[in-house]
Amino acid sequence: KAGVTQTPRYLIKTRGQQVTLSCSPISGHRSVSWYQQTPGQGLQFLFEYFSETQRNKGNFPGRFSGRQFSNSRSEMNVSTLELGDSALYLCASSLEGTSGGTGELFFGEGSRLTVL
Amino acid sequence: AQSVTQLDSHVSVSEGTPVLLRCNYSSSYSPSLFWYVQHPNKGLQLLLKYTSAATLVKGINGFEAEFKKSETSFHLTKPSAHMSDAAEYFCVVVPVGGYQKVTFGTGTKLQVIP
């Protein structure tokens, strides 16, 4: 069974640009959640999608957005990039997310974004 | 509300000696508790999970953790450290049954000295 796939793995952008990151969950998983990891702030929850609906959102500005498609694949978008957006963005999938099951999360290897 | 506290940001052990990584939590809901490991520039890999079954949980690579409700702790242990255990470890609380957010501890970097 294929794991969680994130693309691209590495990317470099400049301030003011926007970026779209993609996440393909494990087959059969309906929940996809996104996390930002930085040395200063650690791992922070961005949002969770379940069956194409955003079910929960972290404390990030509106520049951070996401969506989920009918095949459960998810994208997140960051507009008007700032230097502080440089981070490893991790995606995780689970069968039911936090509403049922064990809540176990399966993580991708991440997309490392550098903003210059 | 929920929170996770990893009591040590860095732990250093000699190869072959025991490992103890400490985690305390608080949660309004009955949580599931997890330990994940992250090697440099990699995603998080599940080590073990507690989901209200047995309080002593065995995971991969010889790790285990004990859920102690009275102490609200979920410490991670391993009898004998291996060089390949050097990584960062995260204690994670996932509230099951409520639409709450996943909460991560701040991480413990484990150094294994040969």
pLDDT, one tens digit for every residue, chain B (114 residues): 778 999 999 999 999 999 999 999 987 767 788 999 999 888 899 999 887 777 899 999 999 999 998 889 999 999 999 999 999 999 998 776 555 678 899 999 999 999
Facing B43 at nearest CB: one of A48, A90, A100: A90
User: Is B106 part of the contact surface with chain A (CB cutoff 8 Å)?
Assistant: yes
Are the beta carbons of B101 and A99 separated by less than 8 Å? no
d(CA B83, CA A50): 39
Residue B103: the pLDDT is 86
The pLDDT value given to residue A102:
63
From the CB of residue A5, how many other CB atoms can be counted at a distance below 10 Å? 16
Would you call B29 an interface residue with chain A, using a CB distance cutoff of 8 Å?
A: no
Residue among A112, A114, A94 nearest A25 (CA): A94
A51-87 in b/e burial notation, b at 16+ Cβ within 10 A? eeeebbebebeeebbbebeeebbbbbebeebeeebbb
What phi and psi, each to the nearest 5 degrees, are found at residue B61? 60, 30
Q: For residue B22, what pLDDT is reported?
A: 98
Reply yes or no: is the peptide bond before residue A8 cis, omega within 30 of 0: yes
Q: Which residue has the higher pLDDT, A65 or B54?
A: A65
Contact of A24 with chain B, judged by CB distance below 8 Å, is answered with no
Q: Is A27 helix (H, G, I), strand (E, B) or coil?
A: coil
pLDDT at res. A15: 97
**Residue B58 to residue A96: CA distance in whole angstroms:** 23
pLDDT score of A99: 52
- Please report the pLDDT score of residue B31 as a whole number: 78
Residue A51, Ramachandran bin (φ over 0: left; ψ between -120 and 50: alpha; else beta): left
Of B86 and A1, the structure prediction assigns the larger pLDDT to B86
